[in-house]
Homo-oligomer: A and B are copies of this chain.
């Protein structure tokens, strides 16, 4: 179904962030689904096209889908994009030798790429959570200090994400730490990077202007999408903050209470 709106192209497909849009995460558990999101995802699968474009870097795509299943969502593995496998492919394609600082949940993507007999020539870092010890951060720092042109690759560049018990500082902050200390080059794999959005638009088989990005991160999701000519819809769930209603640099195409409101409004009325 194509949804028309005066002055803009019809919406033919949806890019959905996962954490903070489908569910709220909770350290050590599966988290809690956000009311209405299960039904909204069901409706999108039935009436439109959907791709899940996440910066999640603590679980493999398979585990993301299983966890969503335990929370009550039906999501197909081939519709999920997360940065870790994309980064692994980037490292392989560029024949890099990574020093890896990631969450144990995605370590498996990088194991075959580490070359213990040669010095690493980049650091790859995700939301490592409790693996962000001083010793591990310092080890990454030392690798960068040894490189003539230090290169840091991060899985997204988020400031923080929302857990049930409060906000949790994210990989972007630790990237800022390493950049301050080493002046390294920084390659981001994930939102808000253009290629990452484009890969999701390709998956939908649509044009950028036919697609909506729905997310809770005003910088990575909304600002990112809108930089690349994709309309961004900010939800008031997950990490959303009241002050973002008047954000200094990002003006979302729309702000809605939650995923269900966005999906029902568009699919019922043909527009916002």
Q: Are A142 and B166 in contact (CB under 8 A)?
A: yes
Of B134, B169, B180, B181, the residue contacting A130 (CB under 8 A) is B134
A14 on the interface (CB 8 Å rule)? no
Binds B, one of A18-26, A76-84, A170-178, A227-235: A170-178
Known: A134-B130, A167-B141. A181 touches B177 (CB 8 A): no
| Interface SS, A side | helix
Of B137, B167, B177, the residue contacting A145 (CB under 8 A) is B167
Q: Which of A130, A170, A177 has the most CB of B within 10 A?
A: A177
A160 on the interface (CB 8 Å rule)? yes
Known: A130-B135, A141-B160. 16 other contacts (CB 8 A): A128-B134, A130-B134, A131-B134, A132-B133, A132-B134, A132-B137, A133-B134, A141-B167, A141-B169, A159-B182, A169-B177, A169-B178, A172-B180, A173-B180, A176-B179, A177-B177
Count residues on chain A whose CB falls below 8 Å from chain B CBs: 31
A129 on the interface (CB 8 Å rule)? yes
Q: A-side interface residues toward B, CB under 8 Å? A: 128-135, 137-138, 141-142, 145, 159-160, 166-170, 172-182
Q: Which residue of B lies closest to A129 (CB)?
A: B134
| A188 to B135 alpha-carbon distance, docked (Å) | 24
